[in-house]
Structure 1
Amino acid sequence: MAISSESAARSSPTNWTKAAFIHLGILPFLLVGAIVFFSLQEERFYSSLNIFNVARQSTFLIIIAMGQAVVLLTAGLDLSVGSVVGFAGVVTALILKSVLGSSPDALLMAMTLAISGGLLASVVIGLINGLGVAMLNVPPFMMTLGTTTSLVGVSLSMTSGLPVTQIPDDFQRILGYGRILGLAPAVLFTGLIFVAMWVLLNRTTIGRYFYSVGSNIRASQLSGINTRRQLILAYVICSVLAAITGILFLARTGSAEALNGQPYGLQSVAACVIAGVSLFGGSGKVRDVLLGAIFITILTNGMNLIRVESYVQQIVLGAILVLALVADQLRTRMIAR
């Protein structure tokens, strides 16, 4: 009887929920809750058209969140990702229009130079952030805050405060609304980047070093890891992924401006934290980051469908971020017991 009572207690809904929370975190509960709530509130939410829109819209945040996760794993933070999205889009658009202006038939060369220019610009930004944090010991928050402020000013100067438009239709068709292997280009690139990031973080020495640096940078130094190189590499990866998002966003919308990526700064951090990536470094999985970004997109999409005001959406996102932080601390204590 005693054994039976103990077995029943362990299989009770409360204990099952507790075990699921310890092993999976709060994200699955939030994701299921959001899907159920919005499905009951608005029948358009679960329509095939809206599901396709969510899948397409989430790609941009997924790519940026994966880059942000790499920086967070090293106990850092990159607030400049939103500005990099806008800056890379502006650089790509200006180079594309400049080359096609002098050589209208050289579309392939123009696209190659434009995309290369946008990516190279992001590498420089990542190096600036990484060198500031790793070599000059500037706190990541202040370093990337300074970078994002400067980038917005540079982008506005390059465009005279106006959006860059009249992007060639062929560029938009190839990278924006066309199809590659039956998939939208953004979805295909997101899948490829996810696989690459999963391999990097789970199957390579560099990935293991990211976790080590975030867990204990002093111990990593004593074990022979070049922690400065790891920190710089983390910020470069984050910046490059943000630039890829900026290029895909340009192809999708046909317009580039300095403030295009501003919402992604907070959203990328929120997606990572909700996914269980620790703000103190050394903990987190890229698989969960993907689900965290999808959850943020579903939340935004659902609130738009039921006509929640934009300022209320910011309140909800902030509240969920705080909830995720509290839940993460609670889960850590439960695991320790």
Structure 2
Amino acid sequence: MSDSNHGVAEPAAPKPSRLGGFVRELFLRVGVLPFFLAAALIAFALVSAQFLSLQNLTNVARQSVYLVLVSLGQMLVLISGGFDLSVGTAIALTSVVSAMVMVAFSAIMPDLVWVAILLGALAGCAGAILIGAINGLGVAQFGVSPFIMTLGVQSVGAGIALYLTGGVPVSGLPFQFGNFFGFGRILGVPVPVLFAIAAIILVWLVMNRTRFGAHLYAVGGNIKAANLSGVNTKRTLFLAYVACALLAAVAGVLMTARVESGETNLGGSIALESIAACVIAGVSLRGGIGRVENVVLGAFFITLLQNGMNMAQIGSYLQMMLLGSLLILAVILDQVRYRMLMGNR
């Protein structure tokens, strides 16, 4: 008996739609950020008519400056294959030390206020760089887990900041400091925004046009292969943590100018927010993958999300829950994206 199906062609497997292929390609290239951003824009635009106004978006851009700076530093460490939980402490220590030095020197030399401001800012940055150097030495030289190292340094740094101030804000900063670095404008552009733009350009150039940037991607991609290729992996890791702390210090100085006092609680949740901004922007937790422009957009998205939740009158505790949930979802989707990328090779 002949087979009744003989000569009949098997039905072809359905081809993925053009839209589905575009979405998949976008997800592989950029990550979850475009989808999260579109969802937030639609949801909050329905909640408040003012959400997409130029005034509100400009306000969000100005507020995102501090997170952009910290996220750029966090990106450097994540690309190297680690992460930094001590960025909040770096900000707090920068704030406290810079404020104390400014107050002391402005009292000693009241006619040289800008010298006092400069010395204070440099002292604050030096304190943060010391934090970054300790992190870098522990991770690069002694092979300590970035989680344990930065968590320990975060605790020590927070204790030092509280010991220096007794938990009391440092007041009496020079008026010129807050007036210029916190609220000043140059050609109509807020000074903190100019600092952020300069940092974005500098980090982009470092990551895309310098040997250090190439080495950082190589170390994060495969540290053993990078070492065999002649890359000084220890120096690269050390500099990544120092650069992360320095960018956090710049954010700390600007935030201190904004609140016009040295505060130990500045940057309390910024470690979580900066990691969320980077992961949502497609920076892989495994290292070796990440783009500066995406991280800037990721930091803007986190600030936009907080702004939208405030407009929707969502409580601060619920906001923390939503942000944490978003980070968990972004990490899960990062795992999915990594497997898809490996499957395409």
Pair in the same fold by TM > 0.5? yes
Q: CA deviation at 1:234?
A: 0.4
What letter is aligned with 1:272?
C
Aligned 1:64-143 pairs, distance under 5 A: 64-143=70-149
- Report if the CA contact (8 A) 2:30-2:294 is conserved: no
The 1-side partners of 2:287 and 2:30 are apart by: 18
- Report if the CA contact (8 A) 1:22-1:331 is conserved: yes
- Report if the CA contact (8 A) 2:131-2:157 is conserved: no
What letter is aligned with 1:54?
V
The 1-side partners of 2:318 and 2:112 are apart by: 47
Question: What is the match of residue 274 of structure 1?
Answer: 280
Aligned 1:263-302 pairs, distance under 5 A: 263-302=269-308
CA-based RMSD of the aligned residues comes to 1.5
What letter is aligned with 1:292?
G
What letter is aligned with 1:78?
D
The 2-side partners of 1:323 and 1:191 are apart by: 30
Instruction: Report the secondary structure of 1:320's partner residue.
Output: helix
Question: What is the match of residue 185 of structure 2?
Answer: 179
- Report if the CA contact (8 A) 1:211-1:281 is conserved: yes
What letter is aligned with 2:193?
V
What letter is aligned with 2:142?
L
- Report if the CA contact (8 A) 1:9-1:15 is conserved: no
Aligned 1:23-62 pairs, distance under 5 A: 23-62=29-68
Aligned 1:183-194 pairs, distance under 5 A: 183-194=189-200
Question: What is the match of residue 234 of structure 1?
Answer: 240
- Report if the CA contact (8 A) 2:117-2:174 is conserved: no
* Residues 1:310 and 2:316 aligned together: yes
* Residues 1:333 and 2:339 aligned together: yes
The 2-side partners of 1:146 and 1:322 are apart by: 23
Instruction: Report the secondary structure of 2:101's partner residue.
Output: helix
Instruction: Report the secondary structure of 1:291's partner residue.
Output: helix
The TM-score normalised by the length of structure 1 is 0.95
Instruction: Report the secondary structure of 1:46's partner residue.
Output: coil
The 1-side partners of 2:83 and 2:25 are apart by: 31
What do the CA deviations read for 1:66-113 (whole angstroms, capped 9, x no partner)?
000100111111100001101101111001000011111111111111
The 2-side partners of 1:225 and 1:26 are apart by: 32
Q: In structure 2, which of residues 26, 29, 34 is the aligned counterpart of residue 20 of structure 1? A: 26
More helix by share: 1
- Report if the CA contact (8 A) 1:134-1:232 is conserved: yes
What letter is aligned with 1:231?
L
Unaligned runs of 5+ in 2: 1-11
The 2-side partners of 1:233 and 1:16 are apart by: 38
- Report if the CA contact (8 A) 2:256-2:262 is conserved: yes
Count of matched residue pairs: 331
What letter is aligned with 1:55?
A
Larger CA Rg, structure 1 vs 2? 2
Q: In structure 2, which of residues 204, 211, 221 is the aligned counterpart of residue 205 of structure 1? A: 211
Instruction: Report the secondary structure of 1:43's partner residue.
Output: coil
The 1-side partners of 2:141 and 2:121 are apart by: 29
* Residues 1:216 and 2:216 aligned together: no
What letter is aligned with 1:101?
A
* Residues 1:319 and 2:325 aligned together: yes
Instruction: Report the secondary structure of 1:51's partner residue.
Output: helix
- Report if the CA contact (8 A) 1:271-1:292 is conserved: yes
Worse-matched range after superposition: 277-286 or 190-199: 277-286
